Structure 1
Amino acid sequence: MDPSGIFPTSYRTDRRVVRTRWQAIALAVFMGLLLAAPYLASGRIIAVLNMMLISAVIAVGLQICTGYAGQINLGQAAFMGVGAYTASILASKTGMSFLLTIPLAGFAAALFGFLFGLTAARIKGFYLALTTIAAQFLFHFAVLNLPSSWMGGSNGITVPPAELFGFRIVGETSQFYMNLAVATIMIAGAFGIIRSRFGRAFVAVRDDDVAAGIMGINVAATKANAFLIGAFYAGVGGALWAYLIRFVGVDQFTLFNSIFFIAMIIVGGMGSIVGALVGVFVIRVIQEVIATVGPNIADSVSFLGGDIVFAGMNVILGGVIAGSMILEPKGLMHRWNILKSSFRIWPFPY
């Protein structure tokens, strides 16, 4: 619901992302704070922001695939791994610039995701979830069993730093600006996708694929395209991860990570790009608090053992996810939209 006096007169106006002057000002202030963050915050916070930006790219791709198209994807970490390995191999063995390795990593992951997206034309629901889990195990099997000279096997691959015009992007600050630039482009692209005819087709297939097919939408192609786009975003995020960590190993991309990406869009709100970003922020902050508080608790209650303490912390994080699904199944963005609507129509109850 828009503020009083705001009436869209065309579909393009109605679907505009920034609709009012105050929203434009708020967005400009937010971007200004992000650009100034390395000069205002500590190195630890910048490191956390780097993780959030990479997670945001991956979660937004998963939101398009699952939140908008309704295609359950439990293999997003595998697609991320394909992108990370592609960028690592191209950078370490060919010396290719990150300006090329990042998009090529996205295309490699998109191809891998498209293959599994083809199965979505015939299956859905629980069986589709099992198929995407198979992608996770297939990725691990391929990395560990292919010749080690190809993908490093269990030893992983060391990634050279990204370079631009002779400048090496190695510090947290320079990494932050690179991640911010890529994340901004990818998120802006996501808004463009969901506002296009492809986005409308995704929503139609999600709501009722039979009715969508009767209306003339190619359901099989739409489902496959949803996986392709979601995997492309994961591949780009994997490439950013490779350049940030400077080392890629198969144990970095597990089913557990895929579940956390699902949790991000559930907590933030399914079917909302901003909801995916909110979910990334909430989950990453919780993880950072756990990582900070966990060692202190382990020291103070040493008789329990550090493993038990950290297992308890993971239970707390799982409880937050379960509580979100029980108390606010539509996500935090749904509650935020209700609060905005209530404020705009106050003091009237309707």
Structure 2
Amino acid sequence: MALLPSGVFAESYAADRALVRTGKQWVALGLFVAFLFVLPLIFGTRLTAIGNGILITAIVVVGLQITMGYAGQITLGQAAFMGVGAFAAAALARAGAPFWLCIPLGGVAAAVFGLLFGIAAARIKGFYLALTTIAAQFVFQLAIVNLPTDLFGGSHGLSVPAASIGSLRLTTETSIYYLNLIVCIIMVCGAFGIVRSRYGRAFVAVREDDVAAGILGINVVGAKVLAFLIGAFYAGVGGALWASYIRFISVEQFTLFNSIWMIAMIIIGGIGSIVGAIVGSVVVRGLQELVTALGPVLNEVFPAFGGQLVFAGMNLVLGGLITFFLIVEPKGLMHRWNKLKQAYRLWPYPHA
């Protein structure tokens, strides 16, 4: 239970469910959002590009958090759902569809693909469900490679037209950053609304004990399917934004390894926390950029092994982070942050 300052209390259920409840919280939130909007003006193009990657990744990982963190449905196919959204949006854009329509339709295409595995989740769970969702990666890759190349590019990849809204072309890092930021804010607000609704409570009940949830009258099958639909939709929206940002997509960009990275993000940030998914995205993407930045240095020191060392470093960072957090802080960074906040509010009365 969250601890609030003395004198702050709820007088209604709506007030009790509010995310922002004090004036200081409103000020902090406003300053943080303002910082996000002025970030491209303060920092250079390189950091803005990193911000674009973080925003797109955060959307996809928030969807994974709903499926896995809240509903407890293990999935190793989030990168495949992202790829479906990317290729669907790219194909629509190449066919002349408006850009503003390609983003949600990319999410819908991914949700339809995710529906297949949501149905499977109704019958299996745990390790077997994880193995089933791995099939999403292979189905996605085989479909893209074998479908007509003029539609999806096959194994050669697919070029994507520049994003545009009306007469405004979004071709610079800054313009794309603001697009990604606005969409990310919308999707995160939607995620908070979902997990705090009756559907979110049903997800948590199914995660804790699906048999007991069914006895209580919750539609367990419907909750599992809906969790996969929502998670895949978020991944599809992120994939559509990625396609418009990178301007060239291929199946190699959406691999099983990427899905494992996404799971690492929610483990590090905190399973069952929307903010934790965002924090995990920032931490892991930041470490990825750091390891990549060391590439030129490694190439100079080890000219014969520089590229291999970077890839090995990525694997080492991923495995090390997952192992460290599972042992030291299995509930993630947000759990540790919440404990620090509670300790600060109780000080100097730690016995309270």
TM-score range, shorter chain: over 0.9
Aligned position for 2:72 = 70
Aligned letter for 2:141? H
* CA displacement at 1:127 relative to structure 2: 0.3
Instruction: Please give the residue correspondences for 1:225-304 in structure 2 after superposition, counting only pairs within 5 Å.
Output: 225-302=226-303
Aligned position for 1:96 = 97
* CA displacement at 1:305 relative to structure 2: 4.6
Aligned position for 1:158 = 159
User: What SS does the corresponding residue of 1:3 show, helix, strand or coil?
Assistant: coil
Aligned position for 1:86 = 88
Find the aligned partners of 1:113 and 1:310 in 2 and give their Cα distance: 30
User: What SS does the corresponding residue of 1:5 show, helix, strand or coil?
Assistant: coil
Match for 1:4 among 3, 6, 9?
A: 6
Which 10-residue stretch deviates more, 237-246 or 295-304? 295-304
Aligned letter for 1:185? I
The question of whether the paired residues in 2 share the 8 Å contact of 1:97 and 1:162 is answered with no
The question of whether the paired residues in 2 share the 8 Å contact of 1:286 and 1:317 is answered with no
The question of whether the paired residues in 2 share the 8 Å contact of 1:143 and 1:151 is answered with yes
Aligned position for 1:206 = 207
Once the two structures are superposed, residues 236-262 of structure 1 have per-residue CA deviations (whole angstroms, 9 ceiling, x without a partner) of 000000000001111110000000111
Aligned position for 1:32 = 34
Aligned position for 1:15 = 17
Aligned position for 1:344 = 345
Aligned position for 2:185 = 184
The question of whether the paired residues in 2 share the 8 Å contact of 1:65 and 1:229 is answered with yes
Once the two structures are superposed, residues 15-69 of structure 1 have per-residue CA deviations (whole angstroms, 9 ceiling, x without a partner) of 2111211111111001111111111001000000000000010000000000000
Find the aligned partners of 2:90 and 2:38 in 1 and give their Cα distance: 30
User: What SS does the corresponding residue of 1:168 show, helix, strand or coil?
Assistant: strand
User: What SS does the corresponding residue of 2:129 show, helix, strand or coil?
Assistant: helix
The question of whether the paired residues in 1 share the 8 Å contact of 2:294 and 2:310 is answered with no
**Aligned-residue RMSD, C-alpha:** 1.2
User: What SS does the corresponding residue of 2:200 show, helix, strand or coil?
Assistant: helix
Identity %: 60
Find the aligned partners of 1:309 and 1:239 in 2 and give their Cα distance: 28
Aligned position for 2:217 = 216
* CA displacement at 1:317 relative to structure 2: 3.5
Aligned letter for 1:264? M
Once the two structures are superposed, residues 129-175 of structure 1 have per-residue CA deviations (whole angstroms, 9 ceiling, x without a partner) of 01110111110011111221221101111110111121110100000
**Structure 1 residues without counterparts, runs of 5 or longer:** none
User: What SS does the corresponding residue of 1:271 show, helix, strand or coil?
Assistant: coil
Once the two structures are superposed, residues 252-288 of structure 1 have per-residue CA deviations (whole angstroms, 9 ceiling, x without a partner) of 1000000011111110000000000000010011011
Aligned position for 2:142 = 141
Q: Give the length in aligned residue pairs.
A: 349
Find the aligned partners of 2:151 and 2:307 in 1 and give their Cα distance: 37
Once the two structures are superposed, residues 312-341 of structure 1 have per-residue CA deviations (whole angstroms, 9 ceiling, x without a partner) of 343133212211111100000000000000
- Cα distance change, pair 313–199 in 1 and its aligned pair in 2 (3 A): closer
Which 10-residue stretch deviates more, 317-326 or 235-244? 317-326
